[in-house]
Amino acid sequence: ADEASVRAGVAAAVEALGGLDVLVNAAGVLRSSHTHETTLDAFEQILRINLTGTFLVIREAIPALLEGHGPAVVNFSSTSAMFAHPYMAAYAASKGGIQSMTHALAAEYAGRGIRFTAVQPGSISSGMTDGSGVSRRSVGPGLPADADMSLFVKLAPALGQGFAGPETVAGVVAMLASEDGAFITGTEVRVDGGTHF
């Protein structure tokens, strides 16, 4: 979310790599709370890291991507962008913004050869969803102590037992970023084991 840091980081990557063909925006934070107890600072921090951070990296990378070979951007949205995940309103807003921005950028840059897609992970085990002391079968870190767990019944994946590993998303990202995804832009791919049919 720091503009100067993003500018320096992208410039260093372009210099080290000799250009840029693919950008994957996977950084983000997840915080859970009752919305009426969420401070403005906490809400804005989530938007700044997840949504503004994604924008900043894309903005700085576009000049190099325009010179790249088959350039593609894969953004991390979430199933939260389209489906109700209680106690995560700020996170849902940030991921919905990423998804909408992905569509807008795909339209803007299609004629210039850059593809923009998004993945919507859900029910995926990661450092963000596991949290401290949270098992692979849980729904995420930091839920309020009085959270109504019955609200999460519909968030169980239909495939397998509990959350899947991050490699299930990595394969989709690799496809979208590669020539295999050359005719895919302006859309998102949900990777959630059938949680949301």
Which of the residues are catalytic? 91
Query: How many whole angstroms from its chain centre is CA 181?
Result: 18
Would you call 85 helix, strand, or coil by DSSP? Answer: coil
- Taken in order 138, 159, 28, 153, the sign of the CA dihedral is negative
| Cα 122 to Cα 82, 132, 135, 158, 193, distances in angstroms | 11, 19, 15, 12, 8
Amino acid letter for position 110: A
